[in-house]
Amino acid sequence: MRRLLRVLLLVISFGLVTVPLAPVAMADRGMVPISDVSVYGPGQKAIISWDGKEEIMILSTDVRASGDSQILELLPLPSEPQIEKGDFASFEQVDKLIQKHSPGPQWDRSGKVKLTQGEGVEIVFHEKIGAHDITAVKAADSAELVQWAQGFLERVGIGHKVSSSKLESLVEDYIGRGIDYFVFDLIEVTSEPKSIEPIIYRFDTNSLYYPLKISTLAEGWTDINLFLLTPQPVDLHWLPQGNELPQGMEIGKFYVGNTTQPIQFEVTQEELASIGEDIAGLLGENAWLTAMSYHGDLSGLTKDLRIGGMSPAPKLAFDSYQGRCTSQQKSQAIIGVAGSKIVAYGMVVTSTPCHELEARLDIPPGFAYPPTINLDIIAQEKPDFCVECLGEVPFQAEIMGLAPGTYDVIIQYQNQAISQEKVFLPISSVFSPPSSIIPCVELPTKATLKLQASGGEFTIYVESESGTETLSLNAIVKAELKGDDAKLYTSYLQFNEVGGEAMVEVNDVAAIVEISPSCGMIIEDSQLFLDAGRLLLVGVMPDQVVSKLRAEPEYLELKYVDGKTVYEFRGISYQKLLGLVRVEIEVKAQVDAATGEIIGQQLPWWTIFCW
């Protein structure tokens, strides 16, 4: 990852220099890597724990300068932090857990100043912690913050110019996004490489957060290794709006022979406590550890890392009706889709018919795909006289304002799930009737649509006889696509800049396409292509893949593999064991997107007895 520590790395001595961190153990101890992430290597690294409301971030610094010097780091945060000294043992424990859960071979890896403030800058914390001299401020104005920072350096006897139009622009961007707390960390370093005490930051945030965009103040190559601890496994597919993910940042990988596996596994409360007691207290009995990494140029960090939010928040319309006596013993509900809304109908059993129902939506942190939506129903007894019998109270609910995609919907009553369904809101439901919120575009038959990713930016444009038009990233596109049977299929396309993906939907079946600098997407003369340096035909539509595999899709991805276009499928098939007992069969398969041929399929061995 890049030649930066954490966010802003400024070495203040003989001019402005960006210093690569020296490995503490990597070269000296002859370690054999088991993965593409490193606790000990140079670059930025952090342990980030988040429970949906509060985050504990442990940052570590390995530094070396050409001589005795000082480093100033700037860390933007979304709320006022609690700051205290950490322990490098937390990182060592994470490293041990990654080794423990590695599917491959195991390898031995042992081895104060007077402060003043301006009108727009409020000092909220100042303390000397080991080699760190930390000051946290709240800023309302970017120019005043940069001016304060310059005065701060002068007051500590450093006559180095820190102000710049780029720094002011970045600070203004953070403040504009509601991130208005900034931590200044002045570190003393020497020519001897050493680890500086980790620092723990604890703060409130509605999404898992790590600042990266501030790193673009420096230039060069960097390595960033982040170790996320969350209640559910992190899934980076089709992140909802409101999330941020720099292009090129991905889940780390274990090396297993000639293949790789994601560095993602469940950890116990005891293992959490070994990393930090506060982390165990934050996350409870168990959690998931996910290693994320970025290896590339600092200029590519055009976004921070923000995972877990859903924006805009969905809206709920809920009605309950007159209760009546019942012989039912169990509450029940049916979940479905009506146009662009998720709908639910049902009844709950109450101690008497004289109850009123209320409901609220609970959206857990969106770590996983598909996101979960909980509808919690609460019954309250009316104060009036009521007949003594077991009652049932009917209800109906509509959940609106959701983006197209798959959702896991759970209806709960008295802390128990009475119904649960995965539902899919098709893109077509937003397109017709046309949405006043989402721009909808019909692609002319002779027009060409191109979707590209470059320099961390997504670009969609249409070339037609009337010229070239750039489309909004929020646009829904309707297009006629030619299949391998030469028929035209009505398709809908949606784009997700957050995850760098496009969604192609035909007959309410959607496939996700990851867009990167090495793989774009083109529609030309009603033909769909992936652009991987040359145009690769996609002749088979997503619904044809599902029909061929005779399974309900959980995830379908269209991608470039070994010189051709391929669908990767994951889903469930329902069959009967020995023709008698209904069973669920997990299906994983690869289908050639040009010909429809099943390239590979993974099924449990016992499916030979199913039909």
Q: Using CB atoms within 10 A of its CB, is residue 303 exposed (0-12), middle (13-18) or buried (19+)? A: middle
Residues 215, 278 share a domain: yes
CA-to-CA dists, residue 50 to 205, 279, 287, 461, angstroms: 9, 9, 10, 38
Residue 278 binned pLDDT confidence (cut-offs 50, 70, 90): very high
Residue 557 lies in a domain: yes
Take residue 96 and report the two structure tokens written for it.
């041990």
Q: Which of 215-224, 292-301, 349-358 has the lowest mean pLDDT?
A: 215-224
Residue 574 lies in a domain: yes
Does position 310 have pLDDT exceeding 80, yes or no?
no
pLDDT of residue 64: 53
Q: Measured at the alpha carbon of residue 152, what is the angle toward residues 146 and 156, in degrees to the nearest 5?
A: 150
Comparing CA positions, the residue from 12, 43, 10, 49 lying closest to residue 26 is 43
Higher-pLDDT residue of 123, 33: 123
Contacts 24+ apart (CB under 8 A), 526-532: 526/445, 526/479, 526/480, 526/481, 526/482, 526/488, 527/481, 527/482, 528/481, 528/491, 528/504, 530/558, 530/559, 530/560, 530/565, 531/450, 531/452, 532/560
The 10s digit of each residue's pLDDT in 192-201 is 655 567 889 9
**Three-state secondary structure of 315-332:** EEEEEECCCEECCCCCCE
Take residue 49 and report the two structure tokens written for it.
């724990």
Residue 101 lies in a domain: yes
The 10s digit of each residue's pLDDT in 132-182 is 888 888 998 888 888 888 887 777 777 677 767 888 899 999 999 999 999
Q: Which of 161-165, 227-231, 326-330, 346-350 has the lowest mean pLDDT?
A: 161-165
**Region 37-47: what's the mean pLDDT?**
65
Residues 473, 404 share a domain: no
Residue 319 binned pLDDT confidence (cut-offs 50, 70, 90): very high
Does position 27 have pLDDT exceeding 50, yes or no?
no
Residues 192, 61 share a domain: yes
pLDDT of residue 69: 65
Per the structure, the count of domains in the chain is 3
Q: Which of 227-236, 256-265, 484-493 has the lowest mean pLDDT?
A: 256-265
pLDDT of residue 105: 52
The one-character DSSP state at 255 is: E
Residues 335, 200 share a domain: no
Residue 68 lies in a domain: yes
Q: CA 202 to CA 367: how far, in whole Å?
A: 20
Does position 61 have pLDDT exceeding 70, yes or no?
no
Residues 344, 277 share a domain: no
Does position 94 have pLDDT exceeding 70, yes or no?
yes
List 577's β-bridge partners, or say none: 581, 610
Mean pLDDT of the chain: 81
**Region 19-27: what's the mean pLDDT?**
26
Comparing CA positions, the residue from 424, 408, 410, 421 lying closest to residue 511 is 424
Virtual torsion, Cα 414, 416, 418, 421, nearest 10 deg: 130
The 10s digit of each residue's pLDDT in 386-427 is 888 999 999 999 999 888 888 899 999 998 999 999 898 888
Residue 5 lies in a domain: no
Tally the C-alpha atoms within 13 A of residue 401's C-alpha that lie toward its C-beta.
Answer: 11
Residues 450, 347 share a domain: no
Residues 243, 377 share a domain: no
Distance of CA 485 to the CA centre of its chain: 38
**Region 444-453: what's the mean pLDDT?**
89
The 10s digit of each residue's pLDDT in 515-566 is 888 889 999 999 999 998 889 999 999 999 999 998 888 889 999 888 899 9
Does position 451 have pLDDT exceeding 70, yes or no?
yes
pLDDT of residue 517: 85
Q: Which ranges of 418-534 would DSSP assign to H, the alpha helix?
A: 427-431
Residues 180, 325 share a domain: no
Residues 377, 338 share a domain: yes
Angle, helices 165-176/142-155, rounded to nearest 10 degrees: 120
Residue 3 lies in a domain: no
Phi and psi at 302, nearest 5°, equal: -85, 0
pLDDT of residue 40: 47
**Region 222-239: what's the mean pLDDT?**
86
Residue 4 lies in a domain: no
Residue 491 binned pLDDT confidence (cut-offs 50, 70, 90): very high
pLDDT of residue 299: 84
- Contact between 395 and 359 (Cβ < 8 Å): yes
Residue 396 lies in a domain: yes
Comparing CA positions, the residue from 331, 326, 397, 322 lying closest to residue 355 is 322
Does position 11 have pLDDT exceeding 60, yes or no?
no
Comparing CA positions, the residue from 526, 412, 518 lying closest to residue 480 is 526
Domain boundary at 425, 446, 465, which?
Answer: 425
Domain range for 386 is 315-425
Does position 51 have pLDDT exceeding 80, yes or no?
yes
Domain boundary at 425, 453, 474, which?
Answer: 425
Residues 291, 343 share a domain: no
The one-character DSSP state at 431 is: H
Tally the C-alpha atoms within 13 A of residue 14's C-alpha that lie toward its C-beta.
Answer: 5
pLDDT of residue 559: 92
Q: Which ranges of 473-593 would DSSP assign to H, the alpha helix?
A: 542-549
pLDDT of residue 9: 34
Residues 456, 347 share a domain: no
Domain boundary at 425, 453, 470, which?
Answer: 425
CA-to-CA dists, residue 154 to 160, 230, 258, 479, 563, angstroms: 8, 41, 55, 61, 58
What is the maximal distance between C-alpha atoms in the chain?
87
Instruction: Tell me the three state secondary structure of residue 212.
Output: coil
Higher-pLDDT residue of 486, 367: 486
The 552-561 sheet, strands edge to edge:
440-442, 476-482, 488-496, 501-506, 509-514, 552-561, 564-577, 581-592, 598-602
Residues 404, 320 share a domain: yes
Residue 28 binned pLDDT confidence (cut-offs 50, 70, 90): very low
Tally the C-alpha atoms within 13 A of residue 393's C-alpha that lie toward its C-beta.
Answer: 22
